[in-house]
Chain A
Amino acid sequence: GQSLEQPSEVTAVEGAIVQINCTYQTSGFYGLSWYQQHDGGAPTFLSYNGLDGLEETGRFSSFLSRSDSYGYLLLQELQMKDSASYFCAPIPGNTPLVFGKGTRLSVIA
């Protein structure tokens, strides 16, 4: 079967660093993507890990450990515009992404 776990809500202060964890269980695994979705908007691609380790894209970094079926998204220098829902989306083989319920991040002043 498939399962996906992320915290449902996270609150952090503007300028701080926040880490959103993701644990997954899928039948087959190709890699882990991260998407951001603002209220009323469509999901937008943030990052992808096909191999273990850290991928950095500006203020955002994503990490993957295949052996632990675990990944995280790290957001640095938080800005108010980062308030959104964040989805980790494992790819179970050559098939489409699996989205969970996501993590709602609120950035406060």
Chain B
Amino acid sequence: DTGVSQDPRHKITKRGQNVTFRCDPISEHNRLYWYRQTLGQGPEFLTYFQNEAQLEKSRLLSDRFSAERPKGSFSTLEIQRTEQGDSAMYLCASSLGHRLWEQYFGPGTRLTVT
């Protein structure tokens, strides 16, 4: 257990539905990251926050994806109008800002879109 928690751990949804995932980082970590990982691939960066500010968003990220970190603590990732191609493991990680190379990952949320 790294101290980063994610909820839910598994989500099955039908195509076209909206889903929201939550991540609770290590409390003293000011940076929070979202990644997506599919089988046989490494984590693919989606977006990241420093405190409550969203500093970067992947150019590959569809407009259907949105993330928030309203009080600089937990974060949510929402996917609207899900598609089968969204099926993946969604990983959250956190780090101290000055040690951005050392990220602590949560267990992930596995999304299956049917």
A residues at B contact (CB < 8 Å):
30-31, 33, 41-45, 48, 50, 87, 89, 91, 94-102
B105 near A31: Cβ-Cβ < 8 Å? no
Task: Enumerate 17 A-B pairs (CB-CB under 8 Å) in ascending A order.
Answer: A30-B101, A33-B102, A41-B107, A42-B105, A42-B106, A42-B107, A43-B91, A43-B103, A45-B104, A50-B101, A89-B101, A95-B56, A96-B33, A97-B100, A100-B42, A101-B41, A101-B42
Q: Please classify the interface of chain B as helix (H, G, I), strand (E, B), loop, or mixed, using the class held by over half of its residues.
A: loop
CB of B60, distance to nearest CB on chain A (Å):
12
How far apart are the CA atoms of A98 and B42 in the complex, in Å?
A: 9
- Say if the beta carbon of B45 comes within 8 Å of chain A: yes
What total of A-B pairs shows CB separation below 8 Å?
Answer: 53
Contacts of B48 in A (CB 8 A): 96
A44 near B105: Cβ-Cβ < 8 Å? yes
B residues at A contact (CB < 8 Å):
2, 33, 35, 40-45, 48, 56, 91, 93, 100-108
- Residue from the list B101, B107, B108 in contact with A33, Cβ < 8 A: B101
- Which residue of the partner chain A has the closest CB to B107? A42
Contacts of A97 in B (CB 8 A): 45, 100-101, 103
Q: Please classify the interface of chain A as helix (H, G, I), strand (E, B), loop, or mixed, using the class held by over half of its residues.
A: loop
CB of B44, distance to nearest CB on chain A (Å):
7
How far apart are the CA atoms of A42 and B93 in the complex, in Å?
A: 10
- Residue from the list A30, A41, A48, A102 in contact with B42, Cβ < 8 A: A102
Known contacts being A43-B91, A44-B2, is A98 close to B106, with CB within 8 Å?
no
Contacts of B44 in A (CB 8 A): 99
